[in-house]
Amino acid sequence: MIRPATPADLPAIHALIRELAEYERALEEAKATEEQLHEALFGPRPATYAHVATDSTDSVIGYAIWFLNFSTWRGVHGIYLEDLYVRPTARGGGHGKALLTELARICVERGYQRLEWSVLNWNTPAIDFYEALGARPQNEWTVYRLTDEALVEASGT
């Protein structure tokens, strides 16, 4: 079952985020707390959203965290999928596809024209999964990021 996340899901989502970070070989970079997730998802002005996949006992076994982006060329919003993760023991059960299907449904229902995300170049199981759904890589773009000291330095403060 796929449903919007609730505050009660935050411990499970936080644990899954840490599992994903470990899988992506970057556990030391996963510093988000449950309190930060609560503020981002359920605070007074949330700008981030989450859906969860549950098993037959209603245990959270996967999640998608997303937010709106905007295309100046198309003039409409889209969804940027920050994380999609399904616990390894639950893979193959259609949960990842169901999470993506729900986000695609939200896009179509709301008139959004893009559903985008990033995937690590070495993560061939994920790449194969996404391409089987019809997603195509956007090879002409390179993602850039400012963080930590470089972000502070760029801010001029």
Which residues does the annotation mark as catalytic? 130
Exposed (0-12), middle (13-18) or buried (19+): which is 95, by Cβ within 10 Å?
Answer: buried
Structure tokens at 121: 């170049």
The secondary element (H helix, E strand) that includes residue 61 is strand 60-71
DSSP state of 81: E
Q: Which two tokens stand for residue 73?
A: 């060329």
